[in-house]
Amino acid sequence: MSAQMEKAEVEASSREEIEARFEKEGLRPSEWGNAPGDEYGWHSHDYHKVLYCVSGSIVFHTSDGDFALEAGDRLDVEPGTDHAATVGPDGVKCMEAARSQKVGP
């Protein structure tokens, strides 16, 4: 599967809890946000993208289907996966990091 979503175990996670999850995996996230209804066109990355929705909502579109993220949800997107996104009605704040791809055994 080119993208996989993990729903939050609780209704929402705090920014600090999400930062701690990144830290546990040795990842350094950056934070970004968009206004309601903003859209990202189709594109892909050459890295494994790990993304958490901090607040608001966003829908990521992939050939595997749509992934609707709300606060606390995680999305992993494999390298080379074409995806687009549409920000929800209240805007969105996300944190994301690139996971290095291990080469060789």
* Domain limits, the chain: 3-99
Q: Is the pTM of this model over 0.75?
A: yes
Confidence of residue 1 (pLDDT cuts 50, 70, 90): low
Q: What share of the chain is helix, strand, coil (3-state, %, to 5)?
A: 10, 55, 35
The secondary structure of 48-98, three-state, reads EEEEEEEEEEEEEEECCEEEEEECCCEEEECCCCCEEEEEEEEEEEEEEEE
Residue 12 is predicted with a pLDDT of 61
Residue 105 is predicted with a pLDDT of 39
Confidence of residue 103 (pLDDT cuts 50, 70, 90): very low
> pLDDT per residue over 44-74, tens digit each?
999 999 999 999 999 999 998 999 999 999 9
> CATH assignment of 3-99, given 3.50.50.60, 1.20.120.530, 2.60.120.10, 3.30.420.40?
2.60.120.10
Residue 67 is predicted with a pLDDT of 97
